[in-house]
Amino acid sequence: MSTTSSPPAPARRDFLRRSALLGIAAGLGSPALAGTPASPSPIARLRSGRVAGQTEQGVHVFRGIPYGGDTAPRRFQPALLEAPWRGIRDALDYGPAAPQGGSEGPGSEDCLYLNVWTPALRDGGKRPILFYIHGGAYNNGSGSDPLYDGGNLCRRGDVVVVTVNHRLNLFGYLYLAQLGDERFADSGNVGQLDLVQALQWVRQHAAEFGGDAGNVTVFGQSGGGAKIATLMAMPAAQGLFHKAWTMSGQQVTAAGPRAASQRAQQVLDHFQGDAETLRRLPMAQLLEAVKLRDPSRVENTALYLGPVLDARNLPVHPFWPQAPAQSAGIPMVIGNTRDETRAFLGNDPKHHALSWEELPAKLEAQQYVDLLPSVVIAEYRRLYPQYTPSEVFFAATTAGRSWRGAVEELEARARQGAPTWAYQLDGYDRDGDAAALRAFHTLDIPLVFHNNAQPGSRTGSGAAMQQLSDSMSDALLALARTGDPNHAGLPRWDRYGLARRQTMVFDTPSRQMDDPRGGERRLYQQAPFIQRGTF
């Protein structure tokens, strides 16, 4: 690690210019600032230097803080710490996302940045710290989505909120250990090791941001939940967090080393090179390989890239054949939404107008479980005689896909006797523009962040949905503060047990139910659960 370096010149100039303008405006009595003294930028003292944030509605916000060095020189290897800098570095803007396609691409290999919202600095506050891991499977996303803005949650609960970027797709999870030299030994899990490094940074700096290093709650949705499940089985992550809340994201099994090597070999064959070839390819060229078709999936999906059972960083499958022993004492909430797949499949108008004749072929392609569609349809018609073919389609694809992983994790934790609570989100805005999607995948993100009014939220802003957001965010805050999600605004929420399968159904109003959708659960238990990417 180099001894000193300066922040990017434009960022430093922005800081100096902003400070100077504030001082001039205050001194001249600018009409825009008349009667409002200029607030000095909050300054945090970090292991590598000082950073200047800004204060937003009473909360100090620091965006784009580096917690590791540029990963480009160490592609496929664990990251080094960030280089120190002189003076004060601006922390006003989000850092680059990891390399990826889509709206947040192309990103940068210099992507190890996190963001902090806190009520105070260095006040000995010992506040709970909530560390959010974004979704996007293991392929895309970042911690800078407006729905992840931590300001409202920070103000509501007097907590510290952290969001994070880390390596994804080939850059974070391409397993080259059996196809290259010792430099590639950790390659299948460096994206997870980035998260470990970020959590270590949080532990080191908790007091600086008024937080408690001994009370860190990790929470995440979809791929973020899966990453949390994986961290729970990684020895390097032990002791770095103390509670967990996952939303529609599970990791029961990881990719096996043979299967992960098979996918890596496909990438090598595509580029007609070896591991060293991939290390030297331009970022954009390497990123093209995410479009390759996966060799092991019948759904003909893109190349699966996720954590690997490498007998090194991940010595056991996260939740098979049992829940991870190292995390048995961590209180955990495992949740899902009632209509997950409407987010993926509900944007096609044809899926809302299916006939009984069309339904079997649609289920064959989309339920991800090898059961006869005729058997599935017959059981759904018995369970829910009022359902249309389209309602059967959305319900069956939800039950046959990600929800099954949540049930597997809940059962494993219950057998272990670990403190675990289950929820199902049923509530949605019946009059909103997303009413046809109902309680779709990702709907719980703005609810737990108390961000119903943020850009991208489709919760609606009516009183009922605001009340639902109150109850969900307060449950997260209660878990973070006490290790139990119960609070005065909810009915009693019991721990999940195999005898009753107690589940909080978040709705307007919310209620606890025993084994909701039990008939669907029993139907799909006729087939073994196989996590995507395992084989």
pLDDT in tens, 256-266: 999 999 999 99
| Catalytically annotated residues | 222, 340, 441
| Confidence check: pLDDT of 462 > 50 | yes
Say which residue, 463 or 26, is predicted with more confidence. Answer: 463
pLDDT in tens, 285-305: 999 999 999 987 655 688 999
Report pLDDT for 271: 98
Write the class of the CATH domain 336-524. alpha beta
Cβ-proximal residues to 502 (8 Å cutoff; 6+ apart), any chain = 422, 493, 494, 495, 496, 512, 513, 514
Report pLDDT for 521: 97
Cα distance between residue 505 and residue 513, in whole Å: 7
pLDDT in tens, 9-31: 334 444 443 443 333 333 333 33
Question: What pTM did the predictor assign?
Answer: 0.93
Mean per-residue pLDDT, 31-35: 33
Mean per-residue pLDDT, 63-92: 98
pLDDT in tens, 105-121: 999 999 999 999 999 99
* Pair 295, 232: CB distance under 8 Å: no
Query: Is residue 35 very low, low, confident or very high in pLDDT (cuts 50, 70, 90)?
Result: very low
| Confidence check: pLDDT of 6 > 70 | no
Topology agreement, domain 9-247 and domain 336-524: yes
Mean per-residue pLDDT, 201-213: 98
Query: What is the three-class DSSP state of 220?
Result: strand
| Confidence check: pLDDT of 127 > 90 | yes
Mean per-residue pLDDT, 462-473: 97
* Pair 223, 152: CB distance under 8 Å: no
pLDDT in tens, 178-195: 999 999 999 999 999 999
What would the 3-class secondary structure string for 261-301 be?
HHHHHHHHHHHCCCHHHHHHCCHHHHHHHHHCECCCCCCCC
Query: Is residue 308 very low, low, confident or very high in pLDDT (cuts 50, 70, 90)?
Result: very high
Q: Within 13 Å and on the Cβ side, how many CA atoms surround 469? A: 25
Q: What residue segments make up the domains of the chain, in order of their start? A: 9-247, 336-524
User: Considering the domain 9-247 in this protein, what is its CATH number?
Assistant: 3.40.50.1820
